[in-house]
Structure 1
Amino acid sequence: MRVKDMLPDGNFEVIEAKNGLEGFNLINTEHPNLIMLDFLLPKMSGWEVYQEIQKRPELKAIPLVLMSGRKEEVTEKLPEPFEEFSFIEKPFDQKQLINAIKEAMAKAKKYSQTLPTQSIPGRTVDTTGDPMAAEIVALQSKVNALQGEIEVLRKQMGQLVSFVKQKLK
């Protein structure tokens, strides 16, 4: 709540998670414009969430502010300089938070500009100069992931229907 209260007034929605697993699931479903991640979290640590984010280019392109009260634990796993995210050490004030967010956005923009040209069915999109093109690629990735999940659910539903039919015989 303290971090949420420090954010400047604006027309945006803050989505909060109680633990790392819930947070990672929200990242996957909501595809936020900014991720603020505590390094020490229950169920799935911030380190584990970070590792999962790094595996997926569409998530890696989202600005990330990593925060912790124990910087030494972060630097054990992720040596400085932090190139893919902004780090802020607790406790921090509003000015430090805003600067960390700006830094994270700049780092994410730099990363997005290094993404290669990506193919979307029916056309090719060059993501190196157009932020909208990068967003289109990210959205298409999300659509592809959802289609994969739908296929898995269809298969599971088919198995369930077969099982029920066998039990009814």
Structure 2
Amino acid sequence: MTEKILVIDDSIMIRKMVKNILAGKYEVLEANDGKSGLEVARRTIPDLVLLDFVMPKYNGYQTLKAIRRFDDLREIPIIMISGLKEQVAEHVPEPFEEFDFLEKPFEADVLLSRIQKLLQSEKALGHAPELDHAPEPAAMEPTAKLSAGETFLIQGMENLIQREVVARMAQLTKRSEKQDVVIANMEKRLDKISQQIDHQNKGIMVLLREIKAIQNRLPGGNK
């Protein structure tokens, strides 16, 4: 029985790179975002999850929390992978206790060693079934192994993209916050103007009543 590794990452480059590294050792399942990753996890019950942190809609930590809500997924080891450790630390204070963390870029043998160590720990704790024999290579088309340089290049490119996305999102957030302040100030000014107009209208109504009263007191005013 081949152990199943679920890779949840919005980058197809990273998913294919990890699949290349794990080829012939584990069955690799893929998901391109947190929502579909949760669906795959519930359907397949993987032995381990590799989870990217920076993803649209649901980030890695939100996805982890969603996975942990289910009893049959609660003990599955999760490796959070990211080239932006500072982003992870903003959401989860160190030391990371709910998951194992692997910073990108990482070498293939480091990833394999981490996975093997976590799976062995789960077996020792009785959370995972012991295999009667060595894992059978997963059925797949022959794939040329990536070199260490190619692996680092892919991760380096992905990190640059993620940093650019995060930086732009931060800029948009600041702009949005400034716009919110401007809108709030405009609303206050409009509210003040509305109050002034209301006060003026009341004054006009009083003045009209006084004029009407004077007219009524004049000779022939009631005609």
Question: Given the superposition, is the C-alpha separation of residues 104 and 57 from structure 1 closer, same or farther in structure 2, using an over 3 Å criterion?
Answer: farther
2:100 equivalent in structure 1: 86
Match of 2:21 in 1: 6
Question: 1:114-155: CA deviations, max 9, x gaps?
Answer: xxxxxxxxxxxxxxx5855xxxxxxxxxxxxxxxxxxxxxxx
Residue identity matched to 1:45: N
Question: Residue 67 in 1 paired to residue 112 in 2?
Answer: no
Residue 46 of structure 1 corresponds to: 60
Alignment CA distance shift 1:43-1:49 (3 Å)? same
Which structure is larger by alpha-carbon Rg, 1 or 2?
2
Is the CA contact 2:22–2:28 (under 8 Å) kept in the aligned structure 1? no
Alpha-carbon separation, structure 1, partners of 2:128 and 2:44? 19
TM-score of the superposed pair, with normalisation by structure 1: 0.58
Which secondary structure state, in structure 2, belongs to the residue aligned with residue 16 of structure 1? strand
Q: Structure 2 length normalisation: TM-score?
A: 0.45
Distance 1:109 1:83 in 2: 19
TM-fit CA distance, 1:8: 5.4
Q: Secondary structure at the match of 2:27?
A: coil
Poorly superposed stretches of 4+, deviation over 3 Å: 106-110, 129-132
Q: Which amino acid aligns with 2:19?
A: K
Alignment partners' CA distance in 2, 1:50 and 1:58: 14
> Helix, strand or coil: the match of 1:9?
coil
Quick one: which amino acid aligns to residue 53 of structure 1? I
Deviations 1:38-78 (A, max 9, x none): 01122322121111123334212112111011011112222
- The 5 Å alignment of 1:121-140 reads 131-132=128-129
How many residue pairs match? The answer is: 115
Task: Give the distance between the partners of 2:95 and 2:65, measured in 1 at CA.
Answer: 17
1:23 corresponds to 2:37: yes
RMSD of aligned residue pairs (Cα, Å): 2.5
Structure 1 residue ranges without an equivalent (≥5): 114-128, 133-169
| Paired letter, 2:32 | K
Q: Tell me by how many angstroms 1:20 deviates.
A: 1.4
The alpha-carbon distance between structure 1 residues 107 and 75, as it changes in their structure 2 partners (threshold 3 A), is farther
By relative contact order (CA 8 Å, sep 6+), the higher-ranking structure is: 2
Structure 2: which amino acid aligns with 1:3? V
